[in-house]
Amino acid sequence: MQPTWPLRKQLQYDDNDNFYLNSNEGATTTATTMAGFEGVYVPGIGTYGLEGGRATGNGLTWELGDLDRVLYNPVPANTSVFQLGGT
């Protein structure tokens, strides 16, 4: 059976994962903490994390490309990589 697109999976992250801001499809990134990744509610996604992306979207939603890349590794290291876009 073929997957239905868009394929969606709920992922959870924790402080064992790696977090980055200002990603350009994974090519350029700025390392951050989990708190930095979650961010603050100030417009400017490249600098202010997930909540900054929501603020840039008028507080109603995130915009396409906010979450730029996720590398999910369930085992053995159980360490995933989450990258936010810089635009």
3-state secondary structure of 67: strand
What sign results for the dihedral spanned by CA atoms 50, 56, 58, 61? negative
Q: Distances in Å between the alpha carbon of 33 and those of 9, 25, 57, 58?
A: 23, 19, 23, 25
* pTM confidence score: 0.68
The mean pLDDT value of the chain amounts to 75
Confidence of residue 1 (pLDDT cuts 50, 70, 90): low
Q: Which residue has the higher pLDDT, 64 or 58?
A: 58
Q: What is the pLDDT of residue 76?
A: 64
Strand-pairing partners, residue 81, are 18, 71
User: What integer pLDDT is reported at residue 46 of this predicted model?
Assistant: 62
Strand order across the 18-23 sheet: 30-32, 18-23, 81-85, 67-71
Q: Indicate the range of 8-12, 16-20, 81-85 predicted with least confidence.
A: 8-12
